[in-house]
Chains A and B, each alone.
Chain A
């Protein structure tokens, strides 16, 4: 068994080493946001998975990782074939790595993407505008995995948007979801989560500006507009209409955390 970290042993070098020794087995890469696996036969990749991606797209995503623990087990355990082994594939993989090297993205893919401080009119292509609209509030890893584009294409657009200041990548690891108990708010309001004013200020500081709150129940999630209120420690106030829609009632504990607007 071979193990280490991609920060010390880059993935391309690792794959070339395994290719050189014609090893078979599975290389598992454990990123905080997803787990990736590359299956090898005679040193050649035959199948790859990462997050929800498969095949060359998964390999493309993994090629962009600068740091993550890995482990190689020489027991191949898949019959799946999503990559055609051969010289052409090898060249494609090398090309993927080279392309990633030209992209300036933060190494930490757990960072959350938020609207940047740049205001006013900016020239964006429809594709860039669509990516900008879709990725806000997501982590870098989520954005790279969930777009309509390939991870590399998404990374190129993200890199540009970050450079232009239209997006910012912020560390949100410090914001733990807060377990709060639901309190009923009466009246015709909707889409509001009343939280304690101290929590509001704290989250505002962490997110760095306007934010929405994400609320997770047992079965579903919802995004609501936060409203600071006094003496709401440990509680989240929701209007009756939202309670009905979310199938919640007073006294139920939910997880709540902020998301950049």
Chain B
């Protein structure tokens, strides 16, 4: 068995049904241990995050504010998967996939909440004010010295995966969007992207955070500009689209439809897989990546940062839902059922007053934001493994890949990195299972007004 065959095998496993089931079960377990914060503490979460937005630049004394940490995480999360990936989920699983995506999001909220709580609780702070945190740190210090290998494994997966999902895929998406819609040569895109990413990563977390707090609102504004005209166009069909989400959640049959124009029949397994898959992988809950950003926030209690995790999921859910409902309301999903998701998205945005260029611009900005945050994640993973000295070599390598990405190629590396991205979930989910009780205790303490006691450093 060669390396690529092995990679395909592992890739199918880490993104397969069984793994999805594990994600859901861990999310349910964490929901139980933490008292369903996504339902019972949603009001507090919104008050603590969006309600306190005027405090966005007010730190608790750390390098970046809790808001900025959430923006770094959100910049990575809200990416092209929210647009193309969401259209893809409907194309694969029909409108019913959206309902299962909601279910996965609901469960995943507790997962992301727990990741943020643990990231702050176990993070290491150095005398210069810098912070190292994320799943590798909570695995190492939460599960103990004997599980250091698992922490190292997570860090390794993150450091390499960042070159795929966080670099080649994203710079490739920027390059393709700009070449297709604006005729920008890939080499020029590569150079500009590499320059921008290089400058931002060189500035460390402060620079990445400043960029994130600017690009996330820009992403949301661009998304609204892109989606609102389409919603207005299909406003009348929206109630029917919503009804279809529920009516076709268990099975779906179309006499004639799909890309081939033949009869289409979707079973529960296919609908579930498409919906749950999107609900898990679009928001990165369970992968542990966002925890690396949340760990950077200086805050009086880890649970307070956890609420940013919940809000992050809520915003992500809003974007994917609006995207999916608009696509269903357009009726285009029937034509593209089982077909090409990129073509489906292009067909939808062809109806936009600014045309497909709007999609191209949005995808380019989404991908750029994701790339910078993932560059930081990868660097943190590498720094955990090899120490501070690795930061500059890692940044330079990352920038080189950013330049190459738009020009294509390196498919094998992208594929391996994609598998490693999926593999990140395994050490993280193990840690979340083992530390779920601790998260529950921290939540109870927070709501009893008790101060946070950071763990003793060993």
A-side interface residues toward B, CB under 8 Å? 181, 183-189, 192, 194, 196, 227, 229-235, 237, 239, 250-251
Taking residues whose C-beta sits less than 8 angstroms from the other chain, chain B's interface range is 20 to 34
- Rounded to whole Å, the gap between the CB of A10 and the closest CB of chain B is 51
Provide the residues of chain A in CB contact with B60, threshold 8 Å: 231-235
- Rounded to whole Å, the gap between the CB of B52 and the closest CB of chain A is 6
| A234 lies within 8 A of B58 (CB) | yes
| Residue interface mask B286-303, A partner, CB < 8 A = 1 | 000000000000111000
| B51 lies within 8 A of A250 (CB) | yes
| B300 lies within 8 A of A235 (CB) | yes
**Residue of chain A at shortest CB distance from B62:** A231
| B454 lies within 8 A of A187 (CB) | no
Provide the residues of chain B in CB contact with A188, threshold 8 Å: 448-449
Interface of B is mostly: loop
- Rounded to whole Å, the gap between the CB of B240 and the closest CB of chain A is 42
| B61 lies within 8 A of A234 (CB) | yes
**Residue of chain B at shortest CB distance from A227:** B451
Q: Does B394 contact A (CB under 8 A)?
A: no
Q: How far is the CA of A257 from the CA of B25 in the complex (A)?
A: 50
| B449 lies within 8 A of A251 (CB) | no
| B451 lies within 8 A of A233 (CB) | no
Q: How far is the CA of A239 from the CA of B450 in the complex (A)?
A: 11
Residue of B54, B58, B62, B447 near A186 (CB, 8 A) is B447
| B61 lies within 8 A of A181 (CB) | no
| A230 lies within 8 A of B452 (CB) | yes
Q: How far is the CA of A251 from the CA of B44 in the complex (A)?
A: 14
Given contacts A181-B58, A251-B52, A251-B55, contact A231 B300 (CB under 8 A): yes
Q: Does B321 contact A (CB under 8 A)?
A: no
Q: How far is the CA of A98 from the CA of B149 in the complex (A)?
A: 84
Residue of A187, A229, A234, A237 near B447 (CB, 8 A) is A187
Provide the residues of chain A in CB contact with B452, threshold 8 Å: 229-231
8 A-B pairs in the complex with CB atoms less than 8 angstroms apart: A181-B55, A194-B451, A231-B60, A233-B59, A233-B60, A233-B298, A234-B61, A251-B52
Interface residue ranges of B1-52 to A (CB < 8 Å): 44, 47-48, 51-52
**Residue of chain A at shortest CB distance from B51:** A250
Q: How far is the CA of A242 from the CA of B155 in the complex (A)?
A: 44
- Rounded to whole Å, the gap between the CB of B296 and the closest CB of chain A is 13
Provide the residues of chain A in CB contact with B51, threshold 8 Å: 250
Provide the residues of chain A in CB contact with B300, threshold 8 Å: 183, 194, 229-232, 235, 237
